[in-house]
Amino acid sequence: MRLSILAAALATGLAVPAQAGELFGGVYAHAVDTPFTFDTGEGGADVQIGVRSDPIEALRVIGKPSAHVFGSLNSEEGGTDFVAAGLSWKVDAGPVYIRPGVGLALHNAPELRVDPATRIRTDLGSRVLFEPEIAIGTDLSERVSVEASWVHISNARLFNREQNPGIDMMGVRLNWKI
């Protein structure tokens, strides 16, 4: 499953080179404890690699977002890997910018996972999840920028009000304009 997730992300990225505005990659802490999640028993680090389009003029009514697709591989055996696709907006704020985004993710976490000590379900509830994210970045040159980013995946408790730990990843990514 790990290789198929990475292959899907790379194939999607390779299929849109004419639309690609930049490539990006980063390293993230996996399953960071935040108010949006609870312990899934996972940890480790993630490597994320993706592609982002130039701003889409046809979507100017919603602020000309860029489309993105990326894959995320977790360093631990049995950890959650995923591919995600969505939209993000780059908002200039002086010497820095903010990049909020939202998308959908497809993951390979167990369909059912229960914490043996608490008997609480820690699976993610559905195979397809929401993928909100936000980054704060700065341009290092005309072609290179760096971002501190937070990526969250969860089902927003749509399928079970009692169960939805979600997973938060926080890290740094480098963007390279094509």
d(CA 12, CA 158) in angstroms, rounded, equals: 28
Q: How confident is the model over 25-52, as a mean pLDDT?
A: 91
Q: How confident is the model over 106-123, as a mean pLDDT?
A: 85
The predicted model scores a pTM of: 0.86
Specify the pLDDT at position 100.
Answer: 99
Compare 16 and 111 and report the one with higher pLDDT. 111
* Burial class of residue 147 (count of CB atoms within 10 Å of its CB; 0-12, 13-18, 19+): buried
* Domain interval for residue 90: 2-177
**pLDDT, averaged across the chain:** 88
Which CATH number belongs to the domain containing residue 9 in this structure?
2.40.160.20
Number of domain units in the chain? 1
* Burial class of residue 175 (count of CB atoms within 10 Å of its CB; 0-12, 13-18, 19+): buried
Specify the pLDDT at position 73.
Answer: 96
Pairing between β-strand 45-53 and β-strand 96-107 as defined by DSSP bridges: unpaired
